[in-house]
Amino acid sequence: MIHDIATFTNLIHEYKQSPDLTYQSWFLYNEDRLKAFRSIRRGILQVVSDIKGGSFPNDFKGSSLEFVLTCITEQKQIFEGASHPFYWKPKLRIPDIYENQDHKRYFGQFLECCLKATKPETVVSEINRLDAYKIKGLGPAVASILYFLHPTWLPPFNTAIINGYNRLFNEKRKLGSWSEYLAIRDKMLAVNTEYRHVLSNDLGALAGLLFEIGAGNLLVPGLADQPVVEREKLEKQLSKRHKEVVDEHREEQTHSEMQYHLLTIGRALGYDVAAARNDISRQYNGHSFSFLSLPNLPTLPVAPETAQTIGLIDIIWLEKGTGRIICAFEVEKSTSIYSGILRLTDLTCSLPDHATTLYLVVPDIRRKEVEMQLTRPSIRQTNTPIRYILMSELRAHCDALCRFGDSHRVLEKIARSV
């Protein structure tokens, strides 16, 4: 371990200050990260429900577990590859949670107990219980799921994180063992407590630091066992990461642009409009959303948890003065279309008397993907009509919709149905 506190503090400072590393690009300034916690929790509830009801399939593809891991892998580079351990490998019969009914049940019970846990000791106990079942192929890759349930108790876990851990603390921990994971967790909790003033209660900040060290994007000074990293190779890695961050920023700008168009059209049609509560501070082309949007949604006759979900919907149009929701829009650039669909279905199922029209706004290249998601059996069973609008058409026709529209039905001119 780095024994020089000043050296470690400087390393953390370098990690936090670089706009291309995960602290700024994912942990601190990424709006999709906040939405992911709710979507992943909702997805895990569905996994548990499917296992209880006997509808969980014998393959990863098409399962509710695939949705959960898709939401996780979308959380930037740190979680890239998180779904691979869960792919069904028929020749190896792993992970053995698809065909073995007892193992499937144990996995479902584990997830349910972790969901309901109110103290970290409960989760550790459940990890040890799951480990005792010796389910082939089911190891601490599950920790990346647990992180999104309890981010202050459990760190995520992958090859780059453990490589960074071993390099930083001069240890030789291994990847595939729950006992190794728990030992790493103990050390991370101790370090995080000591350096919490420069990190965070959320273990994602420290995990991101280990990830960047393990990926070779952040060099640790003064370690004898540290491999020599050629400057050219490091610069190439950082250049690649910089391009990824620039692309992500461009996507964020497109997302904000679409929200701005929807806010503008809604106001022109005479509706009250509201941006997602975590987007209210955004702006596009010099126009702050806080000047266009209601500061908060009106109080809705739904449970607090459901109200939180509705408050994360990208744009909502309301009948002026009544609080009745007329239209709801989810803008999906590169994140999971399914998570946006879930938020929209939550809304319409919770407020059936509002007769809300639901829309997805998607890039043109995702047209086939959105149609595939809208025809999923689990979505069709809800009987929730959701239409989609291509970003290119919303951009091209925004002014005309504002000028010639007299109600939300003007969107039918550009909206598509499956």
Shared domain check, 256 and 199: no
Shared domain check, 38 and 139: yes
pLDDT tens digits, 184-213:
999 999 999 999 899 999 999 999 999 999
Residue 78 lies in a domain: yes
Q: Which H, E and C letters describe 394-409, residue by residue?
A: HHHHHHHHHHHCCCHH
Its domain, for residue 297, covers 248-413
* Both structure tokens of 43: 């997805």
Number of domains in the chain: 2
Higher pLDDT, 342 or 89: 89
* Pair type for strands 357-362 and 325-331: parallel
pLDDT tens digits, 240-291:
655 666 666 677 789 999 999 999 999 999 999 999 988 888 889 889 999 9
Distance in angstroms (rounded) separating the CA atoms of residues 111 and 335:
24
Shared domain check, 156 and 30: yes
| Positive or negative: CA dihedral 186, 148, 160, 240 | negative
Higher pLDDT, 264 or 381: 264
User: What does DSSP assign to residue 25?
Assistant: I
Shared domain check, 191 and 63: yes
- Going by C-alpha positions, the residue among 36, 70, 68 that lies closest to residue 51 is 68
Edge-to-edge strand list for the sheet holding 315-318: 272-275, 315-318, 325-331, 357-362, 386-390
User: Does the pTM of the predicted model rise above 0.95?
Assistant: no
Shared domain check, 164 and 286: no
Domain boundary among 195, 214, 233: 214
Shared domain check, 325 and 264: yes
Residue 29 lies in a domain: yes
Residue 234 lies in a domain: no
Give every CB contact of residue 319 below 8 A, 6+ residues apart in sequence: 271, 272, 326
Q: What is the CA radius of gyration of the chain?
A: 23
Burial string for 340-351 (b: 16+ CB within 10 Å, else e) reads bbbbbbbbbebb
Residue 233 lies in a domain: no
- Lowest-confidence segment of 187-196, 227-236, 345-354, 386-395 by average pLDDT: 227-236
The torsion of the CA quartet 159, 161, 167, 173, rounded to 10 degrees, works out to: -60
* Pair type for strands 287-288 and 357-362: unpaired
Helix (H) or strand (E) holding 121: helix 120-132
Residue 232 lies in a domain: no
- Lowest-confidence segment of 57-71, 205-219, 339-353 by average pLDDT: 339-353
Could you tell me how far CA 229 lies from the centroid of its own chain?
A: 32
Helix axes 204-214, 178-194, angle to 10 degrees: 110
